[in-house]
Structure 1
Amino acid sequence: MKIAFVGKGGSGKTTLSSLFIRHLTANEAPVLAVDADINQHLSAALGLDDEASAALPAMGAHLPLIKDYLRGSNPRISSPETMIKTTPPGRGSRLLRIDEDNPVYAACARRVTLDDGEIRLMVTGPFTESDLGVACYHSKVGAVELCLNHLVDGPEEFVVVDMTAGSDSFASGMFTRFDLTFLVAEPTRKAVSVYRQYKEYARDFGVALKVVGNKVRDADDLAFLRTEIGDDLLVTVGHSDWVRAMEKGRPPRFELLEAENRLALQSLQDAAEDSYPDRDWERYTRQMVHFHLKNAESWGNEKTGADLAAQVDPSYVLGERCAEVAPAS
């Protein structure tokens, strides 16, 4: 299942993303972690030092390879150059599975060893000097969106994406690519404002949203969040000595995370697993096509010199059965 962490900058979404990834790994779930935030901190939160984090390959740097692989033998896509971030799969496209080896993972993912097992980690890559003043960050996350459009996952597998902060998530259709979105909110008016804005934007697309209250210190903080957020508040997380040690680069073993915070993470996993039976592959594919046609008309046709609406396979619905028949090489 595909899970997103969103929230106001500084809310703690990267920290909670990393804790959730560690928790899933401790529970022996296959995990593909993706850092799609403009501030690339997920690798550090997962224990990589500065040198190892800097050595992670940027997905955007491998976009031609990603396009060429995912295109496969799809006759509706004339060349990899005509693929854009929203290009949907069709008959002949290659699909990705979480727990497999393929050229995309070989180029863009790295294995990260945690206390209780291994995960795959992919990163969009940070802004570079050549990007400053001329590039939009959302051009970098296009590789993530393209991969999510071609990824088929099962009920006991997890893709966990640390998204960019606030309403910037809505600059592309990627916000509809998830079974469940966890919005991390501190007990502040500003954080509640971000929650309300996110919920309003997501309302028309059937986005499943739950709020994780973070940095909750006392009963007054909890009462504030319950009053302002209501039933969308799933669970709260308080102070953690384990997290403080992790932020200093000296985390103890994950099994020593406070019991109440382990229980909170289990609540997140339970909510994610409860959301999977509601997945509607037809709606998922329909939304994918909707944003592709919107991007094609807005800028894609002009940029590629092609009619990108022709890339849509009208009878194709993404699903697990597609992965069974997709070409492997």
Structure 2
Amino acid sequence: MKIAFVGKGGSGKTTLAALLARHLAAAPDQPPLLAVDADINQHLAAALGAVQDAALPALGDHLAEIKEYLRGDNPRISSAAAMVKTTPPGRGSRLLTIAGTNPVYDATVREVDGVRLAVTGPFAERDLGVACYHSKVGAVELLLNHLVDGPGEYAVVDMTAGADSFASGLFTRFDATFLVCEPTVRSVGVYKQYLGYAADHGVRVHVVGNKVADESDVEFLRTHVGPDLLTWFSRSDWVRAAERGQTLSLDALEPANHAALRRIRAAADAAEKDWPRYARQAAEFHRRNAAAWANDRTGEDLADQIDPDFVLGDQLVH
């Protein structure tokens, strides 16, 4: 399952993404797992327990190599330079799996406290005034477009905050989207904005309450998000320490919050895996990007990169 955590900045989505990743990594069945930090504020590694000055390789810095590898011998793609963030896979493309080994993972994935992690990379000084952060997040979109995840496998992605997630088609690349929502008017406002955009694309949103102090907070969330409220995390010493950059043993997490993690995993496991829709949406957003900017940039009609008979996921049964 491809899982996204979204929400208002400061809502705790990074903390909960890290918490779910650690929960899965510690599960008795040890499911294959890959965590990805796609937020402009790169804090997932720290939330997982990496030391603050640890240098992790950035996906954005390896974009050329990623394109060259994924391209494979797909005849529809003239060159790696002609690949853009929305380029979908086709016959001849190299595909990725959650746990498999490949040059992309060798270059960009590192283990942090038992969790395999890839990071987009920070917005650097050289990017100020000349680059868009979504050009870096394009590496994540390419990765997910070529990722074949089987039953019981998880990719957990910490997305950019707020409605900025909709600046690319990346928001459609997930089987389960968890919107972290505080019991506040501003946080609920982001939920309503996200829901409005997502509904047009069949994106199912589960709301996960965070920083819930008492039953009145739960009632506030129920009033404003209704049946979309899946579960919630109470205010706790564990979560507060995590948001301050401290890494505690998962055993110290409160039982109610452990139960919330189990509900999140169960909701992800119950999500419908619709590979044909995934392919249709990938093609749709690729056509949009091609017409809007990519054709002019590459000098090609990139709609020709779409392989109409290729469905990612068929490889699991053939």
TM-score, with structure 1 as normaliser: 0.94
Partner of residue 307 from structure 1, selected from 301, 309, 317 = 301
Q: Which amino acid aligns with 1:292?
A: H
Partner of residue 292 from structure 1, selected from 264, 268, 286 = 286
| Contact kept? 1:285, 1:317, Cα under 8 Å | yes
Match of 1:13 in 2: 13
Match of 1:269 in 2: 265
Separation in structure 2 between the aligned mates of residue 286 and residue 92 of structure 1, nearest angstrom: 19
For structure 2, the residue ranges without an aligned partner over 5 or more in a row are: none
Partner secondary structure for residue 231 of structure 2: strand
What is the CA-CA distance between 1:324 and the residue it aligns to? 7.6
* Residues 99-248 of structure 1: pairs in structure 2 closer than 5 A: 99-113=99-113, 118-248=114-244
Separation in structure 1 between the aligned mates of residue 315 and residue 211 of structure 2, nearest angstrom: 42
Match of 1:279 in 2: 273
What is the CA-CA distance between 1:243 and the residue it aligns to? 2.3
Q: 1:250 to 1:170 in 2, by over 3 A?
A: closer
Q: Which amino acid aligns with 2:152?
A: E
* Residues 58-77 of structure 1: pairs in structure 2 closer than 5 A: 58-77=58-77
Q: What's the CA shift string for 1:220-243, capped at 9, x where partnerless?
A: 111111011100000011111122
Separation in structure 1 between the aligned mates of residue 38 and residue 295 of structure 2, nearest angstrom: 26
Separation in structure 1 between the aligned mates of residue 140 and residue 100 of structure 2, nearest angstrom: 17
Separation in structure 2 between the aligned mates of residue 154 and residue 77 of structure 1, nearest angstrom: 26
Q: What's the CA shift string for 1:96-118, capped at 9, x where partnerless?
A: 000111000011111223xxxx2
| Contact kept? 2:48, 2:247, Cα under 8 Å | no
Q: Which amino acid aligns with 2:122?
A: P
Match of 2:39 in 1: 37
Q: 1:250 to 1:40 in 2, by over 3 A?
A: closer
Match of 2:53 in 1: 51
Q: What's the CA shift string for 1:27-76, capped at 9, x where partnerless?
A: 11221000000100000000001121xx1011011001000000001000
Q: Which amino acid aligns with 1:83?
A: M
Separation in structure 2 between the aligned mates of residue 166 and residue 256 of structure 1, nearest angstrom: 30
**Identity, % of aligned pairs?**
63
Q: Which amino acid aligns with 1:204?
A: D
| Contact kept? 1:95, 1:323, Cα under 8 Å | no
Separation in structure 1 between the aligned mates of residue 274 and residue 173 of structure 2, nearest angstrom: 11
Q: Which amino acid aligns with 1:103?
A: P
Separation in structure 2 between the aligned mates of residue 124 and residue 259 of structure 1, nearest angstrom: 33
| Contact kept? 1:8, 1:184, Cα under 8 Å | yes
Q: 1:269 to 1:192 in 2, by over 3 A?
A: same
For structure 1, the residue ranges without an aligned partner over 5 or more in a row are: none
| Contact kept? 1:45, 1:246, Cα under 8 Å | yes
RMSD: 1.2
Partner secondary structure for residue 11 of structure 1: coil
* Residues 318-329 of structure 1: pairs in structure 2 closer than 5 A: 318-319=312-313, 321-322=314-315
Q: Which amino acid aligns with 2:119?
A: V
Q: Tell me which moved more, 89-98 or 237-246.
A: 237-246
Q: Which amino acid aligns with 1:318?
A: L
Separation in structure 2 between the aligned mates of residue 10 and residue 265 of structure 1, nearest angstrom: 20
Separation in structure 1 between the aligned mates of residue 274 and residue 238 of structure 2, nearest angstrom: 38
Separation in structure 2 between the aligned mates of residue 250 and residue 196 of structure 1, nearest angstrom: 32
| Contact kept? 1:243, 1:251, Cα under 8 Å | no
| Contact kept? 2:150, 2:316, Cα under 8 Å | no
Q: What's the CA shift string for 1:292-329, capped at 9, x where partnerless?
A: 0100000001001111011111111111x33687xxxx
| Contact kept? 1:30, 1:119, Cα under 8 Å | no
Deviating 4+ runs (over 2 angstroms): 243-252, 321-325
Q: What's the CA shift string for 1:158-179, capped at 9, x where partnerless?
A: 0000000000000000000000
Q: What's the CA shift string for 1:5-45, capped at 9, x where partnerless?
A: 00000000000001111111111122100000010000000
Separation in structure 2 between the aligned mates of residue 251 and residue 49 of structure 1, nearest angstrom: 10
Q: Which amino acid aligns with 1:203?
A: A
Separation in structure 2 between the aligned mates of residue 8 and residue 234 of structure 1, nearest angstrom: 17
Match of 2:81 in 1: 81
Size of the alignment, in residue pairs?
316
Separation in structure 1 between the aligned mates of residue 22 and residue 43 of structure 2, nearest angstrom: 15
